[in-house]
Structure 1
Amino acid sequence: MRKADNMHARDYLVIDLEATCDDKGAVPKREMEIIEIGAVLVDGEIFEPIAEFQRFVRPLRHPKLTPFCTRLTSITQAEVDAAQTFPAVLTELREFMAGSEAVFASWGKYDHMQFRQDAAFHGVKLPFRGQHLNIKEAFSAAVGTTKRFGMAGALRRLGLPLEGTHHRGIDDARNIARILPYAVGAQVIPG
């Protein structure tokens, strides 16, 4: 594997976020906050992971996780209580990305929008250059359908098992990174 400090513009930073949530409306969508950032830096030439970043984030608006959120993500109250706030974790992500012009990539628009929402709330600037690859849309286009697959459905379509815990940022980022080469045409989607 290449070292993270030798990145180039063709690399991809695959990110998956988990955020505060509730199935009964206790956490409005506009008040959701990131509680985990999972990222896999992928070499854009050979589509292999170069490095990983995973941090929990302490939420401020709704600091107590709902039972639904804990069940969905398996993230515990103790993990977020011990975490730093978004600005500090974003500084760590920026350091992780130092020198990188990697394309920010995620499954759908949610992660991009959630990052923007948290950055606005905290008054901080995101480390991305504005370019975002929606792997969900790219995968549907590569398959030749308008159907929008969920991440687990895309893995099934490719004949790949879901690895790790679904709805954990780092595990989902790893799984999405496995889909990436098919979405950008670097590997052929099985018939």
Structure 2
Amino acid sequence: MSSFVVFDLEFTSWPGALEQDWGAPGQLREVVQIGALRLSEDCSVLEEYETLVRPVVNPQLSPYFTELTGITQESMDQDGVPPAQALGEFLGFCQGQTVLSYGNDMVVLGENIGWARARGEELKHSMLDAAFVNIRPWANTVAPTTTTANVGRLWDMLGLPKPVAGQEHSALFDCYSFATALAHLSDHGATLPAGCR
């Protein structure tokens, strides 16, 4: 059976960081949470992946980030894993798959892989073992109502039932929002990109 992966990242942030493209001193887009779903051709969920990742440069999460995502410093300190471990495991989950993001998450992923390697950390797998695709331009073209939506609001913008419990800006919830939107668009005649069928 053919399958593909959708993924979402949550990364360190502060008030105004998005508008400044993380340009303030010390503000890096360090991955804090990775969520991913392996989907079948009909967009049903085959497998989940989720992990918390300990940021290195900014180990203390900002109150802004915690309010946005619901991820607390306590949960990070208790359950967070080192970046190289999390990134390597995630790349292993993606191996041999087409991997879709709704936006530039693969760029942020690449930044974090580069930082881990610059620190001398070894990753078990490579981004080159999967085909990463930003599907947002396609989704916005086939469903213009999604143009202003972040990934966690796709289900809402398409008038669909909430896919699972949770909230936007939680990586796994955002993946379910993404998968629900893809299934809806496919069911209504949109042809998913190559690698997803």
- TM-score band by shorter chain is 0.7 to 0.9
| Contact persistence 2:11–2:32 (CA under 8 A) | yes
Aligned to 1:114: 108
Change over 3 Å in CA distance of 1:73–1:126 after alignment to 2: farther
Offset, 1:52: 0.1
The DSSP-based 3-state class of the residue aligned with 1:31 is coil
Aligned to 2:134: 134
TM-score of the aligned structures, taking structure 2 as reference length: 0.77
Offset, 1:84: 1.2
Which residue of the other structure, out of 14, 18, 34, is the alignment partner of 1:22? Answer: 14
Superposed counterparts of 1:1-191, under 5 Å: 8=2, 11-24=3-16, 28=22, 31-44=28-41, 46-82=42-78, 83-97=80-94, 100-109=95-104, 111-123=105-117, 124=123, 126-129=126-129, 131-143=131-143, 145=144, 148-150=147-149, 151=151, 154-162=154-162, 163=164, 164-183=166-185, 186-188=186-188
- Unpaired segments ≥5 residues, structure 2: 118-122, 191-197
TM-score of the aligned structures, taking structure 1 as reference length: 0.79
Change over 3 Å in CA distance of 1:62–1:153 after alignment to 2: closer
- Residues 136-159 of structure 1 deviation map (CA, whole Å, 9 limit, x = unaligned): 21112213x497231355323422
Change over 3 Å in CA distance of 1:152–1:31 after alignment to 2: closer
Letter aligned with residue 71 of structure 1: E
Change over 3 Å in CA distance of 1:133–1:24 after alignment to 2: closer
Letter aligned with residue 76 of structure 2: V
**Percent sequence identity over aligned pairs:** 24
The DSSP-based 3-state class of the residue aligned with 2:187 is coil
Change over 3 Å in CA distance of 1:52–1:108 after alignment to 2: same
